[in-house]
Amino acid sequence: MSSSVKVITLGCSKNRVDSEHLMRQLEAASFEIVPEDSDEPCDAVVLNTCSFINDAKEESIAAIFDAVDRKNRGEVSRIFVFGCLSQRYAKELPEMIPEVDGFFGASSGDLVSLAAALGAEFRPELSLQRYLTTPRHYAYLKISEGCDRKCAYCAIPGIRGRHVSVPIDDLVEEAEMLAAKGVRELIVIAQDTTYYGLDLYGKRMIAPLLRRLSEIDGIKWIRLHYSYPNGFPDDLLEEMAGNPKICKYLDIPLQHCSTKVLDKMRRNITGEETVAFVKRLRSMIPGIALRTTLIVGHPGEGLKEFGELLDFVREMRFERLGAFAYSEEEGTYGAENYRDSVSRKEKRRRLEELMSVQRGISASCNASRVGSAVEVVADSVMDGYYVCRSMYESPEVDGEILVRIPENEDEAAVNERIGKFFEVKISRAGDYDLYGEII
């Protein structure tokens, strides 16, 4: 009789890829994979954890205690924890939560050990294969691990280690297998995608990688996440501008615009260079949708610098923007060298003001799209609408295009349209979501 296992993934999409590689190994070992959102009893729960900021740590710990409660009620036999949280707190967690049957870190070797603890032999020949947890028409492709950057606020290099690129041929093989499963959109991810290849090839190779991926039959869209502005490769700009398979979309966390704060953050770029870079992106790739992330309340950010940040956001008019309040993370340069002088209440106030400004920008950007025709892909169905995206929206993090299901489409036709690309006309706009009709 096969064992059943549920893998719960917390944190970023890079963690999701790690979970999918583990789940493929378990599937090959005849484990029954229980859906993540299922409440049915199972033999084992595996939690892939995050510890990037304090909120992520709290979420991960809460999820572990929830699994412990289920174990105490007899709904789960064993609990295993891996990923960033257990990598970072390898000594503390076993003492804090002894009910967990095993803690493992975030390396590829930890996946091998975790599979063995579950009773599965890790098969190297399956190391590029995945058990997809996303809708089958899109998948994340993690092109490297770790980071060589030394941003003051970031704990990732201390958790995940140095930057290590996956060889191009391995990534192409993995992407070909995904395409054979029906994947039509690849979302390329890493801690810094622009750094890709420096360790293996002695130069940045993200543009040649994207070119190879775009040659794969079946792949229609390639989307780039998590890029670093300093040292952004010129050939990547040219590839994005000229390759029709690469979405006119870029996720590029800029973090701030004040030179004083950027210096404190150790970002190796000035405010003026940041502005010039954004303008260059828009000039070379007309119509590009930019998504960025900003930090408020970082050491060095006074009211003057926060005002500069608000002015920057108003001027740059980012189509997508997320933000979070600075939290002091042990082991980082910031925690060891700066005083966290902005109160929690003031950080929250600044965050709310920043997002209020962005809400108006997002609404204006959306309103400008009313009446336009756009190609979309249907991700799912909800309350009489297809939940869709164009090349300008990324799944899970951006707004959606809600397209009313025509009355003449029966259940079979609706199911058939999921994962398909089709044209819609944008009919109205909300602050973050759009509404459309099938053309």
Which residues line the annotated binding site? Answer: 12, 50, 84, 147, 151, 154
Angstrom distance (rounded) from CA 144 to CA 158: 16
What would you measure as the largest C-alpha separation in the chain, in angstroms?
65
Of all helices (H) and strands (E), which one includes residue 377?
strand 373-382
Confirm if 345 and 409 have CB atoms less than 8 A apart: no
Secondary structure (DSSP) of 41-97? -EEEEEEEE--SSHHHHHHHHHHHHHHHHHHHTTSEEEEEEEEHHHHHTTTHHHHH-
Bridge partners for 165 per DSSP: 144
Structure token digits, residue 144: 């490297």
Contacts of 219 (CB under 8 A, 6+ apart): 175, 179, 183, 184, 185, 186, 213, 245
SS3 385: strand
Instruction: Tell me the binding residues for [4Fe-4S] cluster.
Output: 12, 50, 84, 147, 151, 154
Label residues 373-407 b or e (16+ Cβ within 10 Å = b). ebebbbbeeeeebbbbbbbbbbbeebbbbbbebee
**Direct distance between the N- and C-terminal alpha carbons of the chain, in angstroms, rounded to an integer:** 51
Helices (H), 74-205: 84-88, 92-96, 108-118, 156-160, 168-180, 198-201
Buried b / exposed e across 113-140, counting CB within 10 Å, b at 16+?
ebbebbebebeeeeebbbbbbbbebbbb
3-state DSSP call for residue 222?
A: strand
DSSP type of residue 395: T
Q: What amino acid is encoded at 344 in this protein?
A: R
